[in-house]
Amino acid sequence: MTARRVAFVTGASQGLGAEVAVALARDGCDVAVSSRRVEKLVGTLEKIAAAGARGAPVELDLRSQSSIERAMAQAVGALGRVDALVNNAAVTLRRPALEVTREEWDELMAVNLKGSFFMTQQMGRHLIAARRPGCIVSLASTHGLVGFAQRSTYGISKAGLAHMTRMLAIEWAEHGIRVNAVAPGTVDTPSRAEYFASHPGAKQAMVERVPFRRFATPAEVAALVCYLASPQAAYITGQTVVMDGGLTSY
């Protein structure tokens, strides 16, 4: 009997991370899910179980190296191995560049770029020590590919994530480790809906910039992550796959 694949999704208590975790469970994976507060993972774990998969809650603060190391050890201890890591956890910042503080910069980079790098490093160490192939899929963004007003710090962090993908794909290819990223445009999540509710006219203005005249659904993004994490994508590495309804094609 073939062992089930095991995935680890960071920032999976809600929104896109939860959607990805449940999609992976439906795709045949057992799934470790993380949050800074494990009690927030209950809903996601219930959906993983309903999909017929094992789930494991993991406490993770990407700003802490010891937390990163403990999280990987907990995931492996609970589920026996990790075959795929999904770097989803991130913080956002909407601020004019002239107003960004050093504290805001440090917080955002500590999670989005530094934390994701060292989480990926732990995954690489796990796979290489086990002499097994595996993969990493990071959630980048179109903000890291083209310019947007008031999103400079966030965009810079996501651009770094996309380049991390290219660099590590080259370095770890000899170990059979694939490293890819997904760069969505705007995704129709509850947090995005809250923003639009408090900013009248913003949704229409953003939709009109997208050739498809709509935003991505969380399920669409999750399906792409599942594909990149699957054996069907065995020859894909070093890529940041853009999923933006044509936004960056102008």
- CA atoms within a 13 Å half-sphere pointing along the CA-CB vector of 146: 11
Specify whether 154 is catalytic. yes
Residue 110 CA, distance from chain mean position: 15
| CA nearest neighbour of 21 among 50, 57, 3, 48 | 48
Phi, psi of 186 (to 5 degrees): -70, 135
CA angle 155–158–159, rounded 5-degree value? 85
Annotated catalytic residue, options 154, 195, 227, 235? 154
* Tokens of residue 11, six digits: 């920032």
Phi, psi of 102 (to 5 degrees): -60, -35
Give catalytic residues, as residue numbers: 154
